[in-house]
Structure 1
Amino acid sequence: MLSCVMKPQICIHMVLRRCYSDVVRVAEVDGIRKITMIDDKTRNSMTIKMTQNLLKAVTENVDGPELRAIVISSGGRMFSSGHNLKDLASSDGRKVFALYSELMVAMQACPVPVITAIDGAAVAAGAQLVAQSDIAIASNESTFATPGANFGVFCHTPGIPIARSTHRKTAAYMLLTGLPLTAQEAVERGLVSRVVRKDELEKEVAAVCDAIKAKSKAVVSLGKAFFYKQLELDTGSAYKEGAKVMSDSLDLPDGIEGLKSFAEKRKPTWKHKA
């Protein structure tokens, strides 16, 4: 699990400013929590330990006004090689899927946007992590594949967010053949949000984070929650619920401030309170 580089009492007050384990490094700067997978030995495979660390990093101290976005990236040769086959063959193998599903649900429930920054191959559960993230930005050298059936373990759970973010035929192609998509194919088919040159990836991620930070956390959190809720509703119910949420948002302190600042032609001063 994560261990704190700084003294424990300082780390608590600074909201996970700088923590690490031997599989992830976590640093929080100016409201952005950067989670870097550093288990290059296993090509950032989703071991139980890796999953536990990621789950902790996307659920700990996320409700305060300081945190505005979470970015998950990787160091080493690839983004992630997916579930660790040695783990799956062990006595604890069956625990992996339930734990990883818990991480996926936590990412969606997280009150701030979860962004993946991909440089290299995202395979199986690695592609699942990308598909489940709110925003995915990839370098043009990245690839995406779900080849589990090649090893006798079909990518059932990776297919859940992939089928919800890509075209149906694209999801079936990936899951049934195991053949990879290029970064360009992934952006054209909805798996990732944007593709940039490798040397522009960090700059593009920073620009996205800056755009998020310019907004009220309360407004963005409410928007993210309803966005995922309405996806499960029929169109009529979605509009009914959406109209209510929008009406209620006018009573938020930051809803009031936003409209007032627009009328007064000035920058808003957000309180970030629900």
Structure 2
Amino acid sequence: MSVAEELEAGLVLREDRDGIARITLNRPRAYNALSLGLMAALQSELEKIATDQTVKAVVIEGAGKGFCAGHDLREMRSRTDEAFHQTVFAACSQLMLTVTDLPQPVIAKVHGIATAAGCQLVATADLAIAADSTRFGTPGVNIGLFCSTPMVAVSRAIPRKQVMEMLLTGEMIDAETAVAHGLINRAVPETGLEDAAQEMAGKIASKSPLVLKTGKKAFYRQLEMPLADAYAYTSQVMVDNMQARDAAEGIDAFIEKRAPEWKGE
């Protein structure tokens, strides 16, 4: 199936409700492997969400038995030319950057498996909640393809020794270990996964969209700065934030002991 055909096949499903965009990766028979078509569809949907002021939070999940098994290896082997492989990995890298740069917080709702680029997507998401039966891994070393691009996100989410063990052995970790490593926020019984993800997304969606956008952008920018630069940068962010209408409204509402009315400005 060509990329154009896949784009027409409903590879990404979206449902919006109460300020939350629910995005479903929809290649269940392939464990939602990231074909070029699926990545293009997800990229397109995220770009639409970025400018949609009605969306305050995003949940990404997978259809079928697992969240995402990484790149589509059959597609990868269908072409042997270097240019094609460059296209695939460039598309995936751009997709991950889009998740990070998205104004709205992104929650990965994970079940079954999240491996290789699927684990990368979990690590890239701002928050992640998983069924306690979920397994995570970067198993590329087992098939002769080191998980180099997944490593970028995973190594920024969990400590060095733990990620090196995952990368060098290719062994899977369970959800309890993923929580301990910091790859995901929490693990819950699979029967409670939907409610837990909805509760987390709902809490976020109840906040000022301007403040969410401001805070997410500042968080990732300051991480890459030296300490003094980070304080200088975030101090100015707070100064700018204090000039916003929602900051005045939020502080007044707190003082007056009432619920704030956010305008996103």
Q: Describe the shift of the 1:162–1:113 C-alpha distance in structure 2 as closer, same or farther (beyond 3 A).
A: same
1:76 corresponds to which of 64, 82, 93: 64
Q: CA–CA distance in 1 between the matches of 2:147 and 2:234? A: 34
Equivalence for 1:265: 257
**Correspondence 1:212-231 to 2 at 5 A:** 212-231=204-223
Equivalence for 2:161: 169
Letter aligned with residue 264 of structure 2? H
Q: Describe the shift of the 1:205–1:180 C-alpha distance in structure 2 as closer, same or farther (beyond 3 A).
A: same
2:50 counterpart of 1:58: no
Name whichever structure is richer in helix by fraction.
2
2:254 counterpart of 1:254: no
Letter aligned with residue 167 of structure 2? L
State the Cα deviation string for residues 54-92 of structure 1 (Å, max 9, x = none): 111211142343111111101112111111112222333
Which residues of structure 2 form unaligned runs of 5+? Answer: none
State the Cα deviation string for residues 247-273 of structure 1 (Å, max 9, x = none): 211101101111111121111111012
Equivalence for 2:132: 140
2:180 counterpart of 1:188: yes
Q: Secondary structure at the match of 1:26?
A: strand
Letter aligned with residue 166 of structure 1? I
TM-score by length of 1: 0.90
Q: CA–CA distance in 1 between the matches of 2:8 and 2:198? A: 22
User: Aligned residues: percent identity?
Assistant: 36
Q: Is the 8 A contact 1:145 1:181 kept in 2?
A: yes
Q: CA–CA distance in 2 between the matches of 1:210 and 1:130? A: 19
Equivalence for 2:20: 32
Letter aligned with residue 104 of structure 1? M
Which residues of structure 1 form unaligned runs of 5+? Answer: 4-18
**Correspondence 1:1-20 to 2 at 5 A:** none
Q: Is the 8 A contact 1:87 1:93 kept in 2?
A: no
Q: Is the 8 A contact 2:20 2:202 kept in 1?
A: no
2:30 corresponds to which of 30, 42, 47: 42
CA deviation after TM superposition for structure 1 residue 120, in Å: 0.7
Return 170-179 or 87-96, whichever deviates more: 87-96
Backbone CA RMSD of aligned residues: 1.7
Q: Is the 8 A contact 2:23 2:59 kept in 1?
A: yes
